[in-house]
Amino acid sequence: MTPFDRLCSRFRRIAILEEAVGMLYWDTAAMMPPGAADGRSEQLATLRELAHAMLVAPETADELAAAEALAPDEDPRRAMQLALMRRRWRRAVALPSALVAELSRARSRCETAWRSARTENDYAIVAPTLAALLDLVREEAAALGSALALAPYDALLDGYEPGLRAADCNRIFERLEEFLPALLDRVMALQDEQPAPLSLAGPFPVERQAAFARELMANIGFDFDHGRLDTSAHPFCGGSPDDVRITTRYDEGDFLKAIMGVLHETGHALYERGLPADLRRQPAGEARGMAVHESQSLVLEMQACRSREFTGWMAPRAEAAFGGTGDAWSGGNLHRLVTRVDRGLIRVDANEIAYPLHVILRFRLEQALLAGDLPVADLPGAWSDGMASMLGVRPADDRAGCLQDIHWYDGGFGYFPTYTLGAMMAAQLFAAAEAAEPDLRRHLGAGDFRPLVGWLRRHVHGHGALLSWDEILRRATGKPLDVAVFRRHLERRYLDEHRPRTA
């Protein structure tokens, strides 16, 4: 075996360990009995420590050096594969093995405490474990920053989207803040001038919601031989490309929340399944980063499945699934419901205009937490003040405030900005797909996702991590990330499509 072959073998074994971590994480969220939390914490810590040890072993550095010293290969995929292996190794050797294991245990402890705090609606339950986890995250960020010559927060951000920096996010977010609050006001004023959409009368039994969700997933192209749908406190998509695990949560008073959440996670799942099979379990065969990943969930949920065409197709099927009758179940009314704009408190239920403001708040709060400028004990108050400033609303309790997201309680500092970058990418990718497939909306109106998914397979999924997020976007759309494209999408959907038409 050549040094490169040995590296591929090593990274394949590491990937298998990481897949096992992913499965245990899914089980923790969806199936694990509460009393197993301590044992699960040790299982996860041990597997993560083993994967880290394999990556930082002296043989890995020797094999990297030997492979890089060989004559340049004409295959650009091999060169990128080596670069990605080197990147993984550089990040890993920056962290002591003991820190990796302790971080894993602290994440498990804090996530378990978060579940209790969320159930009890009491931030005080999780605050001490969050403070302990944050100390370790600071240690991780400092070690990575020192090794990579990055600011601590940038080092964390780089782990979720390679090459992304806080300065990039600040520049984009400042441009969004220039028009989003005013656009939100305009859209809500337009809504106030018109009759409200008709409400859908529940209750909607969970088992019917789950059955309808599976029907939609299968129609879109989700492969149930390689995945499943379950329930958890916070919706997510996990597992591995050959065993994709989706979770959602249900509200018997509003089935659209769960359905739209499932469609969102199905976008993630399609991306995972569409990654290059010949590079499976190699760094180059993984998802590029979370901004790209979020673009794939949002191009499906927000761009395609909240379109007038798709809701028109979905309406009679929803009516049949839940035994509904009357005008409330029409495609037009369903479209108005899923594009209704408000100043809601919950990020995962937020509309496209308000959503980036939720993310910007979290982006700023997590930087303040990491820097020590915001004490953990003061997070609920800072959250409440931030929501009032950003969206003009205040949460009535912790569950609707700083306990609504799992990310920080699982150590995920630096993740949030990728949501808004993903939303912007999704608008730009969908516009390019429409230009390339002129009948795209007609197909969506027939429940046919093959043209859209096929285009995404060719222009996004099939690249894996071989291209940067910027390169993927430039090749697919002909331009870098463009705030103007996102703004045009929002104005067209929420102003133009909802203005009364004159004869």
Give CA torsion, residues 155, 288, 307, 198, to 10 deg: -50
Q: Torsion angle of alpha carbons 493, 497, 498, 499, nearest 10°?
A: 130
Tokens of 110: 């804090």
DSSP-derived secondary structure letter, 330 = S
Reading the block at residue 161, the tokens are 């989207």
Cβ atoms of 287 and 465 closer than 8 Å: yes
Distance CA 280, CA 478 (A): 28
> Which position has the token pair 């004490």?
375
Contacts of 411 (CB under 8 A, 6+ apart): 103, 106, 107, 110, 133, 136, 137
| Contact in structure between 148 and 90 (CB atoms under 8 Å) | yes
Closest of 301, 300, 232, 334 to residue 27, by C-alpha: 232
Residues 6+ apart with CB under 8 A from 42: 105
Catalytic residue IDs: 265
Q: Which residues face 240 on adjacent strands?
A: 243
Are the beta carbons of 23 and 243 closer than 8 angstroms? Answer: yes
Q: Which residues on adjacent β-strands are paired with residue 247?
A: 230, 236
* Chain Cα centroid distance, residue 116: 23
